Amino acid sequence: MNFIEKVERRKKEVGNALVVGLDTNVERLPERFSKDAEGVYEFNRYIIESTKDVACAYKMNSAFYEMLGPNGMKVLLKTRELIEEDIPTIYDAKRGDISSTAKAYAKAAFEFYSFDSITISPYMGSDAVEPFLEYENKYAFLVCLSSNPSAVDFEYHGTPPLYLDVAVLASNHAEKCGLVVGATVSKALDEVHEVSPKSLILVPGIGAQGGKTEDVVRSSAREKLLINVSRGIIFSENPRETALNYAKSLRI
Amino acid sequence: MNFIEKVERRKKEVGNALVVGLDTNVERLPERFSKDAEGVYEFNRYIIESTKDVACAYKMNSAFYEMLGPNGMKVLLKTRELIEEDIPTIYDAKRGDISSTAKAYAKAAFEFYSFDSITISPYMGSDAVEPFLEYENKYAFLVCLSSNPSAVDFEYHGTPPLYLDVAVLASNHAEKCGLVVGATVSKALDEVHEVSPKSLILVPGIGAQGGKTEDVVRSSAREKLLINVSRGIIFSENPRETALNYAKSLRI
């Protein structure tokens, strides 16, 4: 079963497109967890236990594990292993390099940590993407249009704007290649979907970053969307309740 | 002492601009080293011992450590600790994300692993760079123009080409922000240097990737260059001899 099929099956199972983002910043753990790698792991276990019947997928943000050194990477692995086999996983790592280096990053993501998919920074072009596409049943999401103010610096550069050229690159490998488009630029979802209609689109930026679910679910791309909420769920008062509420608004 | 000063002092000390790249792919270790994290560490120790009076700086390529999981990250740390305090270090990680994620990547690179500098993928704009510039005496190299064929996909996009806009971003923070320009596009070195004259320019692509030292050292940017050779040195018959030869041709 390839990644798109795995996502579609899971979407049917849970009836929503919610990705729970394990952006587990040790500095923001609730008081009852220790402020170290072990605390991050225990917190992740609690979040996964609380949301595993709701989440369409889990995304793990590499940065918050890397900042804890080798022990953080152990937690990355141990947490990934807590996620049940039928739930799609996304390694949010924004890797972007070429040739043997890109191959080594793909090995890390897909072989060592066994993630189903990864996010990629596309700056260096198709050479930075192709090593990730050589894996059967794995998937790469290219950063396309982000939700931060300085997205205008480069992502909109040129005519057509750079982000649409990134969508064209994804469309060339659409069975294995999706896109990341921020929720705060939700009108671009239609546009990107038109360029690469088979690509899954990972949408961060809901909640803490200001994106609204009602804008996103109106998109013509809605069947292809995976909508991530990280801090807005995991650091909320009641993560299970919050995840259920988001899931309700993301029945797409 | 800031990073530029550290590099300049070291350049005077060794009389060259050679960066030895510890792209230590476990699969390519010589026979006498074990094919695991421990072997990578022992190999790095051998390379550092063989080159520490020649190398202007060391660059460590994160991918080859990440692919070995948490033990690989232990080797990254232990190897970084082998490098003497007065030799500049570059964490070649091509990280590129925003807000709290970028801050966490900066923490990993500068606090946990104590590197002096890092390479950054600039796709998401200044927001992806600024968290790295908040550290005193640390430095960020933005990927600008790479040496791979698909650099044409996005790096040359628009008018002016995207890579020159990246150079403009670096020029806004030039005390703390350099650029990466591949040796195979050495004529772009002059152009990039003109846009951001204070920026150090890290030049990969010599040797294995086909770039030539004589093209690079003719550049008007030569005083700002740090020229990396990885595989061409570390996997050569006699790494010390090879490093000395490269150093001779890089007296700039």
- Model confidence pLDDT, tens digit, residues A26-51: 999 999 999 999 999 999 999 999 99
| Chain A residues close to B127, C-beta within 8 Å | 148-150
Q: At what angle do helices B37-51 and B69-82 cross, to 10 degrees?
A: 20
Taking CA–CA distances from A181, the nearest residue in chain B reads B124
The pLDDT-based confidence of B184 (bands split at 50, 70, 90) is: confident
Whether A212 is catalytic: no
Strand partners, A57: A19
CB distance from B172 to chain A under 8 Å?
no
- Quick count: other Cβ atoms within 10 Å of Cβ A226? 26
- Model confidence pLDDT, tens digit, residues B65-108: 999 999 999 999 999 999 999 999 999 999 999 999 999 999 99
Smallest Cβ–Cβ distance between B125 and the set A97, A128, A154 belongs to A154
User: Residue B185's pLDDT is what?
Assistant: 85
Smallest Cβ–Cβ distance between B146 and the set A94, A98, A166 belongs to A98
Residues in chain B: 252
B166's tokens? 């990246």
User: Residue B203's pLDDT is what?
Assistant: 96
User: Residue A185's pLDDT is what?
Assistant: 85
User: Residue A247's pLDDT is what?
Assistant: 97
Q: How far apart are CA A242 and CA A247, in angstroms?
A: 8
Positive or negative: CA dihedral B39, B113, B148, B239? negative
Peptide bond into A197 cis (omega under 30): no
CATH of the domain at B164: 3.20.20.70
The pLDDT-based confidence of A212 (bands split at 50, 70, 90) is: confident
The pLDDT-based confidence of A215 (bands split at 50, 70, 90) is: confident
Q: How far apart are CA B41 and CA B153, in angstroms?
A: 37
* CB-facing half-sphere around the CA of B148: CA atoms within 13 A: 24
Answer yes or no: do B63 and A143 touch at CB < 8 A: no
Query: In 3D, which of A111, A39, A211, B115 has the Cα closest to residue B107?
Result: B115
Number of domains in chain B: 1
Smallest Cβ–Cβ distance between A124 and the set B127, B150, B169 belongs to B150
Taking CA–CA distances from A159, the nearest residue in chain B reads B158
% of chain B residues with pLDDT over 90: 92
- Model confidence pLDDT, tens digit, residues A46-91: 999 999 999 999 999 999 999 999 999 999 999 999 999 999 999 9
Interface test with B, best of A38, A81, A101, A119 (most B CBs within 10 A): A101
| Chain A residues close to B23, C-beta within 8 Å | 100-101
CB distance from B128 to chain A under 8 Å?
yes
Q: How far apart are CA B177 and CA B9, in angstroms?
A: 18
Pairing of strands B18-22, A225-229: unpaired
Mean pLDDT of chain B: 96
The pLDDT-based confidence of A207 (bands split at 50, 70, 90) is: confident
Taking CA–CA distances from B27, the nearest residue in chain A reads A104
User: Residue B68's pLDDT is what?
Assistant: 98
| Chain A residues close to B68, C-beta within 8 Å | 112
Strand partners, A141: A119, A178
User: Residue A209's pLDDT is what?
Assistant: 72
Write out the DSSP string of A20-67: EEE---GGG--TTS-SSHHHHHHHHHHHHHHHTTT-SEEEEEHHHHHT
Q: How far apart are CA B34 and CA B14, in angstroms?
A: 32
The amino acid at B66: E
- Model confidence pLDDT, tens digit, residues A121-166: 999 999 999 999 999 999 999 999 998 999 999 999 999 999 999 9
- Quick count: other Cβ atoms within 10 Å of Cβ A220? 12
Helices (H), B107-147: 130-133
- Model confidence pLDDT, tens digit, residues A1-31: 999 999 999 999 999 999 999 999 999 999 9
Active-site position among A6, A11, A59, A94 = A94
User: Residue B209's pLDDT is what?
Assistant: 72
CB distance from B99 to chain A under 8 Å?
yes
H/E stretch holding A100 = helix A99-106
User: Residue B86's pLDDT is what?
Assistant: 98
Structural domain boundaries enclosing B198: 3-249
A178's tokens? 């999706």
Q: Using an 8 Å Cβ cutoff, are B206 and B228 in contact?
A: yes
How many angstroms separate the most distant Cα atoms in chain A? 52
User: Residue B66's pLDDT is what?
Assistant: 98
B168's tokens? 């403009």
Q: Using an 8 Å Cβ cutoff, are B154 and B121 in contact?
A: no
Active-site position among B94, B138, B176, B224 = B94
- Model confidence pLDDT, tens digit, residues B188-217: 999 999 999 999 999 998 876 778 888 898
Q: How far apart are CA A118 and CA A50, in angstroms?
A: 24
Strand partners, B140: B118, B177
| Chain A residues close to B94, C-beta within 8 Å | 95-97, 121
User: Residue A201's pLDDT is what?
Assistant: 98
| Chain A residues close to B61, C-beta within 8 Å | 101, 104
* A185-189, A224-228, B119-123, B199-203: range with lowest mean pLDDT: A185-189
Residue A87: DSSP 8-state: S
User: Residue A193's pLDDT is what?
Assistant: 97
The residue-averaged pLDDT of B43-50 equals 98
The pLDDT-based confidence of B187 (bands split at 50, 70, 90) is: confident
- Model confidence pLDDT, tens digit, residues B133-171: 999 999 999 999 998 999 999 999 999 999 999 999 999
